[in-house]
Amino acid sequence: MNKLEARKQYDSLILVGNHIYKIKNQTAREMIHLAFELLLLQSRELLRRMNELHQKTNSPEIRREVRRFRVLDKRIRSIEATADVLCIPNMRGHS
């Protein structure tokens, strides 16, 4: 992933994060939450593999990629947490 691709992905995540509050349909909120939960699991696994590769190779290029990906991962975690909070009222209703 080059710098431009990382920036586009980060901008897309910011857009989703800024508009997630506007979604009023609880089912849609839950679907978004599940999608970001899955994305977060995949992100963590990819980050783990990238770190392992960096430790084995000690490549500056891989280190840069890991840094870029950590920024994306942080934003994914933030949006997933927001989506989780938005789903709480509905989850409490089913308890």
Task: Report which residue type is found at 74.
Answer: K
Number of residues that make up the chain:
95
Place of tokens 């190779």: 57
Q: How many CB atoms lie within 10 A of CB 52?
A: 10
Residue 77 in domain: yes
Residue ranges making up the domain that contains 78? 3-7+26-93
Tell me the average confidence (pLDDT) per consecutive run of 10 residues in the chain, 95 residues long.
72 80 83 85 90 93 89 86 76 48
Residue 12 in domain: no
What's the domain count of the chain? 1
Residue 18 in domain: no
Residue 30 in domain: yes
Residue 35 in domain: yes
The predicted structure's pLDDT at residue 52? 94
The predicted structure's pLDDT at residue 1? 59
pTM: 0.71
* C-alpha to C-alpha distance for 83 and 5, rounded to whole angstroms: 24
Residue 62 in domain: yes
